Amino acid sequence: MEDHNRLEELLARSGQGPLSGTIIADFGRVLAGPYCTMLLADMGATVIKVESPIGDETRAWMPPEHEGKSTYYLSINRNKLSIELDFSDPGDLATARELAARADVVIENFKPGGLEKFGLDYQSVAAQNPDVIFTSITGFGTAGGASLPGYDLLVQAASGLMSLTGAPETEPFRAGVAVVDVFTGMHACIGILAALNHRRVTGEGQRVEVNLMSSALSGLVNQTGAYAIAGVVPTRMGNEHPSIYPYEPIATGDGEIVLAIGNDRQFRVLCRELGTPELVEDPRFAFAPDRSRNRLDLRPLLEAALSHATATEWFERLTAAGIPCAPIQDVAAGVQFAERIGLDPIVQAGSGDDSLSGIRNPITFSQTPATYDKAPPELGADTELVRRWLAGSSPLASISAKEATA
């Protein structure tokens, strides 16, 4: 506990998030690991990002950029410290091992077995730090797929996700964001929180393993479920839903609006608002399974009714009637819409000249709110600070004061 208190003094995380005082040694890079640790850092954890002398690869992923820095890197690395370590240097490697020995949580996404030669694998770290939560992220697990490279695009292809993305007449597409990496980062976060709770109850540390392939199959939910349960192999349906209708974009007088009609009551209200009550009485459309089977007959009737007003007008009218619908917007309009409805999506990480805009952590706590006190770090910005903490050479409160006034 002394290490935790002294580190918190030194590194001066503001706020009282639910993970305040938790030390995380972050050996991850690119997206899944850094996204996971950013979520944990937002909740108050002290995350020490370990980087090689060339830094996280995403520092060089441009465009887009902001003041010469990759927005990719900036978007997933706030609230962290950066320590630069070269594992080929004995002193730096000793520092990495000491950091792992002090941490509550270690997270890494090296290829399976890649940390053994450095003495930073689970067995080596747990021998010195038996209650550690050691989290490994791989592409395809540690068995038959251990040698396969773990890239989001590859897993979107191998898992079947790409086979479901696009229209029936098009080739398979990847999703517009690296969703498998994001799934996996969230699964890693859940695993870490569960393991921390287990340790709180029992005192036991453990290893947590996630991989992109398993996260993709889990994230495909009803689609992989249909295969596992009934042997059904789903196919691309564009924007349609396999089981309910209407649940897709439909043309209006000046563009498209997305309808998400999930039950018979919503369909009745939709027909009332469209001025087509006769559709409710039509046996082809009366109940959800009928609408799904007869969607090719129903779609042109809905398009004809919707053509009498604009997408914006229908959105306002149908929303007022309680119908789930939405306009199709670009990212800027999406953020602006969130602002209009009071979600405050933009936060400032850090303060003063170092402050940087970002997207708010999606979790709201009534008693222990998220904290955004640190902008994404420059490579190695906190190397000396962390080394001095590990060495225990100076009273940390006085070091913190000196750093603050330097």
CA–CA separation, 213 vs 28, rounded Å? 18
CA–CA separation, 143 vs 112, rounded Å? 9
CA–CA separation, 369 vs 38, rounded Å? 15
Which of the residues 181, 254, 282, 353 is marked catalytic? 181
Q: Is 3 a catalytic residue?
A: no
CA–CA separation, 98 vs 118, rounded Å? 12
Cβ-proximal residues to 400 (8 Å cutoff; 6+ apart), any chain: 9, 10, 11, 12
Four-point Cα dihedral 327, 328, 331, 337, nearest 10? 0
Cβ-proximal residues to 378 (8 Å cutoff; 6+ apart), any chain: 82
Q: How many CA atoms lie within 13 A of 129 on its CB side?
A: 24
Structure tokens at 20: 């305040």
Phi first, then psi: give them for residue 303, nearest 5 degrees. -60, -40
Catalytic (active-site) positions: 181
